Structure 1
Amino acid sequence: MKLLPLKAAIAAALLTLATSAWAKPLVVCTEASPEGFDIVQFTTAVTADAAAETLFNRLVDFKPGTVDIQPALAESWEISPDGLRYTFHLRQGVKFHSTDYFKPTRTLNADDVLWSFQRQLDPKHPWHDKSSVGFPYFESMGFKELLKSVEKVDEHTVVFTLTRRESPFLADIAMAFASIYPAEYADQLLKAGKTAELNSKPIGTGPFVFNRYAKDAQVRFKANPEYFRGAPPADPLIFAITTDNNVRLQKLKANECQIALYPKPDDIPSIKTNPNLKLAELAAMITSYTAMNTTRPYISDVRVRKAIDIAFDKQAYVDSLYGKDNAILGTGPYPPTLLGFNRSLTNPARDLDKARALLKEAGVPEGTVLTLFTRNGGGPTNPNPLLGAQMMQSDLAQIGLKLDIRVMEWGEMLKRAKNGEHDLVTAGWAGDNGDPDNFVTPNLSCDAAKNGENYARWCNKAFQALIDQARADTEPTQRAALYEKAQLVFAEDQPWIPTAYPKMFTAMRKNVEGYHQNPLTNNNFATTQVK
């Protein structure tokens, strides 16, 4: 029986009321402000959460809570026998967000994929020079050299041709920098001379639609009713920016937010015993480290880097910042959950006399001042940045080095570290795709040293040759052996002080359901709801 017009209108109204009554707001207390919403310009996890995980999709992505690849905007793909051609077949009928500043006239097609990659790849592309910081991930991952071409076969088929075999290619394009943008919206902004609005008024295909951003206060999103995987059960989604982890926990207890990211390790026991709260924990793909700027006076000498390393009491640092059983002492550039982790690496014994001798040998005057950049607030890679900096300051004072601690807002610290203004900087990295290449190439490659993402500004030809070879190899055992050798080069030349492989914690109210903690540390709330 067909509904008459009036009955149809009443039914639609009742459905709208039922849906709005069912969907409840979800407030997430986050640890920092996003750098922007044009995700290809940025590499931080907080920006990925606020843009890549909410607003955008990629050709492929990861199954929730895993590092397994699944179809996304591409519903299927084929790989040529030589591993150089990837043919993607796009999902049809996927809609871009409709807002007061953009009304799409068509659904997703191959032109959007071409625009999203050619913008980063082709220096002649009209949008290539519109990024104020370039395309740091695309560049540091070597995609300029990797991609020979990206071509449209028809409206829903795209072919990527590579210059070489790349074992982690599918995992790489599941990452935030491979997000797909609407070419139609880009054309609109370019014609209007408003290209900067791509970063402040984003449009994607993701589970949430951007509403507004109050800097250092909150980001608001609306549920996308036309999301191709189904409308999210939370509406609206609000990121309440709360840099202090104590305040995040207070807000959670008061139900001002229903999820609080990255609680302090000291607070874990009290969260577990609170009847209104619950805790998710995971041995995530995270490494914490202090990068030493190898282009700076004195730090350019490996003897000085070795002296700093053996003077720093890393075990005391890890115990104080992370607490017992919440982190493993770091030894290399990535954690033991990944392929090729070199278990032969160990931390040398703390030796102040040897450290002083190395400094004297390198000609470092007593009382030399080094700058250490660190962030305010706290996150999973560094729960208490100021305390950690002060501990290092005290340790280095014992060998005649003075540490000038500079505490900065997260985005400012990253900007200045990329410019190479530091001697040392406390940093961390959360894996994006479950492959060891994702740790070593963006953070320690020669390309990353050029664009500043490699905070040590370290370029070692032997290390580079090994990780290049490992990227091209598809046999896991051979790849593992190459990464093990690369880690020996890293340890010998000491561009970092690896400090910890921390666990990741997420605190939430008991009535939160559908949240999947991600080993890659991204937070996606497309299936999360408050009951």
Structure 2
Amino acid sequence: MRKFVVFLLIVLAAVMLLAATEYMVEDSRLTPDPNPKVGGTLRLVLSSTPESFLMYGTLDSATYSLTMGPMFAPLVQEHPMTFEIVPALAKSWEVSPDGKEVTFYLREAYWSDGTPITADDVIFTFQYFVMNKYARGNSIDRFTLPDETGQQKPVVWEKVSDKVVKAILPVPYGAFFRVTSHVYIYPKHKLEPLIDKSDPASVNKIWLSNTDPKEIVVNGPYKLVQVVTDQKVVLERNPYFWKVDRFGNRLPYFDRVEYLIIRDAEMRLAKLIAGEIDYMGISGKDYPMLKQMELEGKAPFKVYAPQPTGATPSPIHISFNFDVDDPDLKELFAKLEFREAMEYALDRERIIEEVFGGLAIPDAGLILPSNKAFYNPKVEELLRPYDLKKANELLDKIGLTKRDKEGYRLFPNGRRVEFNLLVANSPKEYQDVAYIFAEDLKKIGIKVNLQILDSSLVGQMFGAGNFQAGIRAFGNQPDLQLRKAIWQPGTQLYYWHYSTMNKDTDPPSPVFEKMFDWEKRIWELFEKGQVEMDPVKRKAIYDEVQELYHIYLPVIFVCKGVPTVAIHKSLGNAGVTEDGTLYFTVWTSYRK
């Protein structure tokens, strides 16, 4: 009788907690099916056993796959389809008029052991993990900003009440919500006793993969129940998860998620073909074979090549060194008409078909088209199509009318117009792009000498400004501010015009007299975007940056490879929309 009473009290307590929870209704775009079924097991795959279940104590990709979304949640989150910032553990927030204080109001929600999620957990996560320089996965750089005097100062977090926490910023910071969305909150009541306060690096040794799953409490849709090293990781529905669908059904739909650990790529592919995996990224080389299987009705899955949404594969661009030590080339590269001619001579369609097998989209260098929060569709109108006649006309216009016996154009001083194109030997796609580009430039009288060198050496040469022209790639970020160090003139990765940066100051400072007028405007826009907190105004700022890049061509964006995925036919709320946007999460998918 006593056991029954205890059990009854536990059940009643759980019911009361669920009743008190302030649920968030998930976006209908992630739950389009009107009759989702509850129960069953979602089958996924990892390439290795996770090192840890504390994402800040490791740099392990398997850990990230499990913790970032399936097991833990942030204060605010990026919408997985649009990249807009939406509520998560924080149900709402307020920004002070000066943009230096952000107050978050936490929803009534609970850890998987029934303990309330409070401001203490937020402050604990930042103090011991995010801002701990000894934590292997810290994010100190993202939450340390220069104040009005140029001094680097951290964002300070203060507890207002159990359900209210305030962030105090040294200066307004436009990307604050974006970087905050990457901070997953961990439980103070479980982890603080495990930390050796005299050894800040001790955080890297807690919640390792051999931890008893019962000791790991979560605030995401699933909790850990089993780890079998090099075989599988099993998650089970978190009874206190705080999301529901538009019909009022509690999420997630699946009872369990089972991650098979398969190191060998061919074995993962075999499991997919056998129908034992529900969702998996596939390589571009396997896409044609798998698509053929699907079309022939021989596959338990469908394969998709959706709009890219992630940083990789990195979009390729072509750059011309504005500081090149050859005076003829320096004068030539500075002319907009020359750079326009180079874009007209770039056959993106051929590159996409021949190099990427059709699995790429043109341009996509600054902001991805799938990023509804920041993408400016006007850039599609600004792209110059492949047109060798137009390229020839522009080169004639700038005085390169004379040619030698081999048909190459000549500078006014009689020198042949030619330059070296620096390319890394890996990945091979970079070389293939270079070959096609060089072939077309020959047709318009420009000689290109390919410099295909070891990747590490090429990186050093770009970093030293020791090149004439080059092919390179940088990954996308959902917020352009997070790529300021690349795309803002006068910064450390603006490698095609290093003279715009004074390296002798600490930190390096812009040299405006070396900038073109349009570069000065881009510099100014990045400064405005950094401190603007209004998302609508920030989009307008970055819309202009995107337009300026496509009008003045500091670099010429080529294309970006698209991700390819396979989804089991029995999986609901998973697929690709009419506009090519992928939709799938572990908490909204279900078994049909």
Q: TM over 0.5: same fold?
A: yes
Give the letter for the 2:362 counterpart: L
Secondary structure at the counterpart of residue 202 of structure 2: coil
**In structure 2, what is the Cα distance between the partners aligned to 1:109 and 1:507?**
39
Report the TM-score when normalising by structure 1: 0.66
For the 8 Å contact 1:393–1:402, the answer to whether it is kept is no
Aligned to 1:223: 236
C-alpha contact (below 8 Å) 2:365/2:559 kept by paired residues: no
Kept in 2, the 8 Å contact 1:331–1:346? The answer is no
Counterpart selection for 2:195 from 189, 192, 195: 189
How many residues of Structure 1 are paired with residues of Structure 2 in the alignment? 478
Matched, 1:527 2:533: no
Which residue does the alignment assign to 2:276?
256
Aligned to 2:567: 508
- Provide, for residues 409-448 of structure 1, a one-character-per-residue CA deviation record: whole Å limited to 9, x for no partner: xxxx99x99999998675464554xx5545x43753579x
The yes-or-no answer on 1:320 pairing with 2:344 is no
Give the equivalent residue in structure 2 for 1:162: 169
3-state SS, counterpart of residue 392 of structure 1: helix
SS at match of 2:448: coil
Q: 1:55: Cα distance to partner?
A: 3.1
1:51 aligned partner: 67
Query: CA 1:298–1:35 in 2, change beyond 3 Å: closer, same or farther?
Result: farther
- Cα gap change, 1:371/1:505 in structure 2, threshold over 3 Å: closer, same or farther? closer
| Contact 2:317–2:558 (CA under 8 A) maintained in structure 1 | no
Task: After TM superposition, give the deviation of residue 58 of structure 1 in Å.
Answer: 0.5
Native 8 Å contact 1:233 1:528 kept in 2: yes
CA RMSD of aligned residues (A): 5.7
Q: Map 1:130-529 to 2 at 5 A.
A: 130-131=135-136, 135=140, 138=143, 148-166=155-173, 169-174=176-181, 176=182, 178-183=183-188, 185=191, 188-191=194-197, 194-197=202-205, 204-209=218-223, 220-229=233-242, 230=251, 233=254, 235-238=256-259, 240=261, 249-262=269-282, 264=284, 266-267=288-289, 269-270=291-292, 272-273=294-295, 275=297, 276-279=300-303, 282-285=306-309, 288-290=314-316, 313-324=347-358, 327-330=360-363, 332-336=365-369, 338-341=374-377, 342=379, 343-346=381-384, 370=422, 372=424, 374=426, 385-392=427-434, 395-396=437-438, 399-404=448-453, 406=455, 427=473, 429=475, 431-432=477-478, 436-437=480-481, 440-441=483-484, 443-445=486-488, 461=510, 462=520, 463-473=522-532, 479=538, 482-487=541-546, 490=549, 496-500=555-559, 504-515=563-574, 524-529=585-590
Which residue identity does 2:382 align to in structure 1?
S
Q: What CA distance in whole angstroms lies between the structure 2 residues aligned with 1:44 and 1:329?
A: 32
In 2, distance between residues paired with 1:112 and 1:296?
Answer: 50
1:94 is aligned to 110
C-alpha distance 348-64 of structure 1, shift in aligned 2 (>3 A) = closer
Unaligned stretches of 5+ residues in structure 1: 13-20, 99-104, 375-384, 408-412
Measure, in 2, the Cα distance between the counterparts of 1:118 and 1:427.
35
Please tell me whether the aligned partners of residues 58 and 72 of structure 1 are also in contact (alpha carbons under 8 angstroms). yes
Larger Rg: 2
Aligned counterpart for 2:41 among listed residues 21, 24, 34: 24
Unaligned runs of 5+ in 2: 12-37, 243-250, 401-407, 440-446, 502-509, 511-519
Q: In 2 relative to 1, CA 25–149 (structure 1 residues): closer, same or farther, beyond 3 Å?
A: closer
**C-alpha spacing 1:295/1:78, structure 2 compared with 1 (3 Å):** same
What's the CA shift for 1:224? 4.8
Separation in 1, partners of 2:464, 2:220 = 35
Partners in 2 of 1:515 and 1:141 — Cα distance? 43
CA distance in 1 between counterparts of 2:98 and 2:59 reads: 31
CA deviation after TM superposition for structure 1 residue 157, in Å: 1.4
- Cα distance 1:194–1:149, how it changes in 2: closer, same or farther (>3 A)? closer
> Normalising by the residue count of structure 2, what TM-score does the alignment of the two structures yield?
0.60
> Distance between the aligned counterparts of 2:235 and 2:307, measured in 1?
32
Distance of 2:254 and 2:450 partners within structure 1: 55
Paired with 1:426 and 1:188, the residues of 2 have a C-alpha distance of 45
SS in 1 for 2:565: strand
Identity %: 18
Q: Aligned to 2:280, what secondary structure does the other structure show?
A: strand
* CA distance 1:73–1:517, shift in 2 (3 Å): farther
* Amino acid across the alignment from 2:558: T
Evaluate the alpha carbon distance shift between residue 480 and residue 114 of structure 1 in structure 2; reply closer, same or farther with a 3 A threshold: closer
